[in-house]
């Protein structure tokens, strides 16, 4: 799952995709309605690929949590973020049984499900496991071809020093 370039801006609803960078701002496009707006350096911007969820062991990347939801839902939509508290927290416990319930607030749980459904609706939510495995196989094949197809050099002739 690739969340590169997808951000959340504090104070603005929804998720945004970074389109361009200006002198003092970013030009972002909403994933919901494809409207472009500037995001200034004073805005609190969070890249989704940098966000992680607290657990009792070590923090888990948001990407991993979204992948787990995707697999559990078989690529379908998750429960709405407007569901009641117990439903969403129990669902997250099924996905991530050791998440820290004291440090992960309910508002954060709601964001996870809201963001998942936004990404799903916009088509940015795909699992790339099969693509990565095939890419590794192709890379290995390319390396093998490079090794076998290198032309052999003819041995260099030694320079003969002529003495007079």
pLDDT digits 0-9 by tens, 81-139:
999 999 999 999 999 999 999 999 999 999 999 999 999 998 887 766 544 444 444 44
Domains contained in the chain, CATH given: 6-122 (1.10.10.1650)
Nearest CA-CA partner of 114 in 26, 25, 8: 8
**50 Cα distance to chain centroid:** 9
pLDDT digits 0-9 by tens, 37-88:
999 989 999 999 999 999 998 999 999 999 999 999 888 889 999 999 999 9
Q: Encoding tokens for residue 66?
A: 């979204």
Rounded Cα gap, residues 34 and 114, in angstroms: 17
Task: Return the H-helix or E-strand segment holding 64.
Answer: helix 62-72
pLDDT for 45: 92
Packed helices 85-95 and 106-122: angle between N→C axes, nearest 10 degrees: 70
Question: What is the reported pTM?
Answer: 0.74
Question: Which single residue is written with the structure tokens 């496991």?
Answer: 129
Rounded Cα gap, residues 46 and 57, in angstroms: 23
Report CA dihedral (9, 10, 14, 15) to the nearest 10 degrees.
Answer: 30
State the sign of the Cα–Cα–Cα–Cα dihedral 45, 51, 53, 57. Answer: negative
């Amino acid at each position: 799952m690739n969340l590169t370039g997808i951000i959340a801006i504090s104070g603005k609803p929804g998720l945004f995709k970074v389109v361009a960078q200006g002198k003092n701002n970013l030009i972002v496009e909403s994933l919901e309605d494809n409207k472009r707006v500037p995001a200034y350096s004073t805005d609190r911007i969070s890249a989704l690929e940098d966000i992680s969820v607290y657990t009792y062991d070590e923090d888990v990347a948001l990407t991993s949590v979204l992948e787990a939801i995707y697999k559990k839902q078989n690529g379908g939509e998750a429960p709405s973020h407007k569901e009641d508290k117990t439903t969403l927290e129990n669902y997250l416990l099924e996905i991530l049984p050791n998440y820290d319930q004291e440090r992960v607030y309910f508002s954060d749980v709601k964001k996870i499900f809201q963001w998942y459904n936004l990404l799903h609706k916009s088509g940015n939510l795909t699992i790339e496991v099969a693509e990565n495995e095939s890419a590794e196989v192709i890379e290995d094949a390319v390396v093998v071809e490079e090794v076998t197809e290198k032309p052999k050099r003819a041995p260099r002739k030694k320079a003969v020093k002529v003495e007079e």
